[in-house]
Amino acid sequence: MKYKIHFPQFHKEIELLKEKNILDYARELKIPIGSSCKGRGICKECRIVIEKGCEVLNQKTELENDLNRNERLACQAIIKDDSADIHIRLSYQGSLEQIATEGGKKEVKLNPLTRKKGNKVLFDDKEIGSYQNHIYGIAADIGTTTIVLHLVDLESGKLIFTSAFENPQRLIDGNDVISRIMYDREKPAALCEELISCINEKISKMPCDTNEIYEMVAVGNSTMRDMFFGLDVQSIGVKPFKSVTELRGSFTFLNKRGSNSPLRINKNANIYGAPLIGSHVGADTTAVCLCTGFFDESNLTAMAIDIGTNGEIVLKYDHNIIATSCAAGPALEPMPALRGAIQRISIDNGEIGWKTIGNTEPVGICGSGIIDLLGELIKTKEIDENGYFVNRKVFKITDKVQLTQNAIKGENGLMWSKAAICLGIKVLLEETGISTDDLDRVYLAGSFGSYIDKENARRIGLIPAVPLIKVVQVGNAAAGGAKEILLSRERRRLAEESVKKVKHIDLELIPNYGERLMLDEQNFKKLKFP
Ligand code: FES
Residues 262 and 140 in one domain: yes
Collect the ranges in the chain with pLDDT lower than 50.
none
One domain for residues 247 and 148: yes
- Of the candidates 57, 23, 16, 19, the residue with the CA atom closest to the CA atom of residue 41: 23
Q: Kindly report, residue by residue over 47-98, the tens digit of the pLDDT.
A: 898 989 999 999 999 888 878 778 899 999 999 998 899 999 887 766 666 7
Q: Are residues 235 and 137 in the same domain?
A: yes
Residues 218, 227 contacting (CB under 8 angstroms)? no
Compute, in angstroms, the gap from residue 41 CA to the centroid of ligand 1: 4
Give me the CATH number covering residue 147: 3.30.420.480
> What is the rounded distance in angstroms from the CA atom of residue 482 to the CA atom of residue 284?
8
> 67: CA distance to ligand 1 center in Å?
13
Contact between 350 and 338 under an 8 Å Cβ cutoff? The reply is no
The answer to whether residues 9 and 82 belong to one domain is yes
Question: What is the DSSP-derived secondary structure letter of residue 349?
Answer: T
> Mutate which of 25, 43, 78 to test ligand 1's pocket (most atoms within 8 Å of Cβ)?
43
Same domain, 175 and 67: no
Range of the domain at 42: 4-90
List pLDDT tens digits, range 58-69. Answer: 999 988 887 877
| Nearest Cα residue to 131 out of 146, 116, 151, 147 | 116
pLDDT at 107: 81
Same domain for 86 and 143, yes or no, is: no
Choose the residue to mutate in 40, 67, 170 for probing ligand 1, maximizing ligand atoms within 8 Å of C-beta: 40
Ligand 1 atom closest to 75 (CA): 2
Q: Are residues 252 and 121 in the same domain?
A: yes
Do the strands 320-327 and 310-317 form a parallel or antiparallel pair, or are they unpaired? antiparallel
> Cα of 34 to ligand 1 centre, how many Å?
7
Q: What letter represents residue 222's amino acid? A: S
Cα of 47 from ligand 1 centre, angstroms = 8
Report the nearest atom of ligand 1 relative to the CA of 42: 3
For residue 25, the CA-to-ligand 1 centroid distance in Å is 14
Angle at the Cα of 140 from the Cα atoms of 137 and 142, rounded to 5 degrees:
160
Residues 176 and 277 in one domain: yes
**21, 24, 42: which to mutate for ligand 1, most atoms within 8 A of CB?**
42
The reply to whether ipTM tops 0.95 is: yes
Distance 245 CA to ligand 1 centre (A): 33
Residue 24 neighbours by CB under 8 Å, 6+ apart: none
Q: How far away, in angstroms, is 178 Cα from ligand 1 center?
A: 16
In a shared domain, residues 140 and 264: yes
Task: Please tell me the distance from the alpha carbon of residue 132 to that of residue 474, in angstroms, as a whole number.
Answer: 36
Q: Which of 33, 67, 75, 90 is the best mutation target for the ligand 1 pocket, counting ligand atoms within 8 Å of the beta carbon and taking the most?
A: 75
- Does a structural domain hold residue 391? yes
Q: How far is CA 378 from CA 82, 243, 384, 387, 458, in A?
A: 47, 41, 6, 8, 11
Is 524 inside a domain boundary?
no
Distance 443 CA to ligand 1 centre (A): 32
Same domain membership, residue 120 and residue 41: no
Q: Count the domains in the chain.
A: 3
Strand partners, 347: 352
Rounded CA separation 368/451 (Å)? 6
Q: How far is the CA of 86 from the centre of ligand 1 (A)?
A: 20
Taking CB atoms and a 6 Å cutoff, what residues make up the pocket around ligand 1? 35-37, 39, 41-46, 73, 75
Distance 427 CA to ligand 1 centre (A): 31
Predicted pLDDT of residue 242:
95
CATH number at residue 81: 3.10.20.30
> Can you spell out the DSSP letters for 181-246?
HHHHHHSTTHHHHHHHHHHHHHHHTSSS-GGGEEEEEEEE-HHHHHHHTT---GGGSSTT---HHH
The reply to whether 132 and 277 lie within a common domain is: yes
Give the number of other Cβ atoms within 10 Å of residue 212's Cβ: 20
In a shared domain, residues 129 and 213:
yes
